[in-house]
Amino acid sequence: MPVVETRIAEGLLLWTLDNPPRRNALDPAMLGWIRERARTLSGEVVLLTGAGDQVFSAGFDLRALARLAEEDPATLPDQLLIDASSAMTEADATFVALLQGVVIGAGVELACACDLRLARPGVTFSVPASKLGVVYHAAGLLRFHAVFGASLARRLLLCGERISAEEALSVGALAHLVPAEELAEAGEAVGRRLLEGVPHSLRAHRDFFRRIERLALPADLLAEHNALRTRTYAAADLESAHRRALGRKS
């Protein structure tokens, strides 16, 4: 199973991104599982983490990304990521990310799609979009901006900087920073605290926060951005950037 689901208690689930050989890189099977499972949830609290203690997720699996582009040129290859993260933010469930090690690219977006984020010291966030020639979709950019704030979002996306957990905590991107050996226990405690509340109150506040983080952008701006994304994914230099990132010769 690409994502391992563990039932911790009634209404409390643990989802583990389980792809250690690829540093928990997100492939189509994992993203498809998240999309479909999120649509079936009804009031649960879901703790989202990565297998092992060195990495939450190394981002989108670039080998899978290249295959998707070849198999279906008419569909942007990151559509699966868009669908998975959207399903999380539309689900009747509360998501808590438990972050360890490095969090890269698409992994950052999944973490941003969660309602709360906990991390251990030493965690770093990076979004190598400029290095890969990727143009993020509008909803993803809005999530980065809402979670990290204007300054850190620009440092992530424009400069390609690596952001520390301590910096993320300082701007409210993280709810708590806890020792590595206490991360699982702290996540479970937060999950149980969420479930102790009255369900309709939790749902109303959670969904309102989600709505105010989704700005209604002008249709012409969205159309222009989507057109740019389409041109970018069709560009030859994007393929070359992916080959370089994978360590292959151009």
Going by C-alpha positions, the residue among 9, 3, 55 that lies closest to residue 29 is 3
pLDDT of residue 63: 75
Question: Is 224 within a domain?
Answer: no
pLDDT of residue 68: 64
Q: How far apart are CA 118 and CA 22, in angstroms?
A: 23
Question: Is 59 within a domain?
Answer: yes
Question: Is 217 within a domain?
Answer: no
- The domain tally of the chain equals 1
Question: Is 116 within a domain?
Answer: yes
> pLDDT by residue (tens digit) across 151-206?
999 999 999 999 999 999 999 999 999 999 999 999 999 999 999 999 999 999 99
State which residues form the domain around 55.
Answer: 3-181+190-212
Q: Which residues in the chain show pLDDT less than 70? A: 1, 64-74, 235-250
The CATH number covering residue 61 comes to: 3.90.226.10
Going by C-alpha positions, the residue among 46, 39, 127, 41 that lies closest to residue 83 is 39
Question: Is 250 within a domain?
Answer: no
Question: Is 177 within a domain?
Answer: yes
